[in-house]
Amino acid sequence: MGNEQIRELPAAPTAPGGSGGGGGAWAPGAVHRLLLARTDAFWDFLTGRPVSLYATSVLRIGYGLLYLSFLLREFPHRDEIWGPGSPWTPSLAAQLFDQTGWYSFLILSDSRAYFELCYALALVTSTLFMLGWRTRVTSVVFATVVASFHARAIFMTDGGDNLLLLMAFYLALTACGRRWSLDARRARIKSARADGTPTTRARSHVPQDLRAARTTLATVVHNCGVFVIAAQVCFLYGSAGLYKVQGSFWDDGTALHYVLNLDLFQPWPALSHAMDRYPLAMAVVGYLTVLTQVAFPFVLFGRLKYPVLGVLLGMHVAIAVVLGLPLFSATMIVADAVFLPDRFYTFLPHLLRRSASRCNVPTPGQGAALGSVPQQCAHPDGREEYRPVSRPASGHAGPPPSGPTVAQ
């Protein structure tokens, strides 16, 4: 497999810009050497180590939790949405699957008991996926569950469900259970135990080679999966922005007026009407939305991505509250998390501990008395958490394990 890839790869570096800013007077040998070096570097990057392990774990936890909340939220409506009692009857669903090629295990039986079993399976799967238990297998089951539930109620889905489905597929390709998971905990305990006993070398080379090949394969697939996730989010924002640019309401700044006046997206009518009374502010926000979405794919390669991600976060929180679309918004927010580098995530616990100790909150590591009442942090400064992001290399707390991120 490897050899094929290497042969195909030189296509990328020959693209304009890939060969560096040369004057065009390269000797054929030099070009060849350069291409080889580039190819090797790319190959090493691809197979060397899995990137963004923390980010994918955050996606796993986020989407597991979101799907669990979704299932629980719809508990009173579960039969109406996915069950045999749905107005989109099992036979209509089956007919549609025949036309589209989709599949859902929910239509295997019309019995209510079978449906309840599937619903329970979905709850358990989402929980296990969130916790990262036997993640490789669980992630495949989770993707199957999400696909089945999504397809069964295809005419009740919105953009958030669509993205969650795509992410469930893509996450099954990644090693999303290596951090902050039960798997990671088990591996830690196992290695701690193994430290005490002398390591036993593999008796033959074959299993070792196999294991190495498996690791390389997992790494390559993981890295490709992460890249696909990142590109998917770029496509999402890019096309959402491009389509908005074509709209006259977004052009003349009145789009948000119409959005705020949609009956079904008005959980707090007083709030919507209050916002609608500030057309200038709404026009500015509308323009900012379009610009941010169109710009999104282009700002990912520099520091500018942090303020843009911040703007998007604010936008999504506003959508969640004002339009009553918390699930949709949370799905988008979790997707954005893929663009934060691992060093941000490794730094997070550090930062939390530090801000906790500044507020004199005893941390377990300090061996504080359990009985004492921790003093509340007077100003839990939300922006504080963002500092290491905008200054990632400032090294507040020693060298964080820096690594290539998706975007860099």
Partner 1 sequence: MCVVTTLVHLGAVFLHVAPPNPVSQRYSRQVDAWVYPFFEQNWRLFAPNPDSVNRRVWARTAHTQPDGSARVSPWTDLTALDRAAVEHDPFPSHSAQNLLRRAWSSYVDTHGADDTARSARAVMMQKYLGNIAAERVAGLRGGTFEFVQLRVVTAPVVAPGTAAGHRPPTPVENRLLPWWKVTPRGK
Stretch near partner 1 under the rule CB under 8 A, chosen from 23-31, 77-85, 188-196, 339-347: 77-85
Q: Applying CB under 8 A, what is the total number of residues that bind partner 1? A: 76
Nearer CB in complex with partner 1: 330/389 = 330
Verify binding: residue 350, partner 1, rule CB under 8 A: no
Nearer CB in complex with partner 1: 76/198 = 76
Residue selected from 63, 115, 149, 169 as contacting partner 1 according to rule CB under 8 A: 169
Burial class (CB in 10 A: 0-12, 13-18, 19+), 155: exposed
- 206 DSSP assignment: H
Burial class (CB in 10 A: 0-12, 13-18, 19+), 310: middle
Verify binding: residue 77, partner 1, rule CB under 8 A: yes
Find the length of the chain: 408
Least gap, CB of 281 to partner 1 (angstroms): 12
Least gap, CB of 404 to partner 1 (angstroms): 16
296 in Cβ contact with 316 (< 8 Å): no
Name, in order, each residue with C-beta under 8 angstroms of 152's C-beta and a sequence gap of 6 or more: 82, 86, 88, 93, 104, 106, 107
Verify binding: residue 101, partner 1, rule CB under 8 A: yes
Stretch near partner 1 under the rule CB under 8 A, chosen from 14-22, 259-267, 363-371, 394-402: 259-267
3-state helix, strand, coil in the chain (%, to 5): 70, 0, 30
Site string for partner 1, 7-46 (x = CB under 8 A): -xx------------------------------------x
Verify binding: residue 363, partner 1, rule CB under 8 A: no
Residue selected from 50, 90, 177, 326 as contacting partner 1 according to rule CB under 8 A: 326
Nearer CB in complex with partner 1: 58/165 = 165
Stretch near partner 1 under the rule CB under 8 A, chosen from 76-84, 202-210, 369-377, 380-388: 76-84
Least gap, CB of 239 to partner 1 (angstroms): 4
Binding positions for partner 1, 195-254, rule CB under 8 A? 220-221, 224, 227-228, 231-232, 235-240, 242-244, 246-250, 254
User: Between the CA of residue 311 and those of 84, 293, 304, 321, what are the distances in Å?
Assistant: 42, 10, 11, 16
Residue selected from 51, 58, 166, 315 as contacting partner 1 according to rule CB under 8 A: 166
What dihedral angle (degrees, nearest 10) is formed by the CA atoms of 87, 93, 95, 96? 110
Verify binding: residue 298, partner 1, rule CB under 8 A: no
Verify binding: residue 155, partner 1, rule CB under 8 A: yes
Nearer CB in complex with partner 1: 128/236 = 236
- Determine the longest span between alpha carbons in the chain, in angstroms: 76
Q: Hey, is 27 helix, strand or coil?
A: coil
Verify binding: residue 316, partner 1, rule CB under 8 A: no
Nearer CB in complex with partner 1: 181/331 = 331
Please give the full DSSP string across 226-285, using - where no structure is assigned. HHHHHHHHHHHHHHHHHHHHT-HHHHTT-HHHHHHT-GGG-SSHHHHHHHHT-HHHHHHH
- Nearest Cα to Cα of residue 170 among 198, 204, 202, 147: 147
- Rg of the chain's alpha carbons, rounded to an integer? 25
Verify binding: residue 315, partner 1, rule CB under 8 A: no
Least gap, CB of 272 to partner 1 (angstroms): 11
Nearer CB in complex with partner 1: 162/346 = 162
Verify binding: residue 321, partner 1, rule CB under 8 A: yes
- C-alpha–C-alpha distance, residues 340 and 349, integer Å: 15
- C-alpha–C-alpha distance, residues 324 and 263, integer Å: 11
What dihedral angle (degrees, nearest 10) is formed by the CA atoms of 244, 246, 248, 251? 70
- C-alpha–C-alpha distance, residues 161 and 265, integer Å: 17
Verify binding: residue 158, partner 1, rule CB under 8 A: yes
Binding positions for partner 1, 133-152, rule CB under 8 A? 147, 151
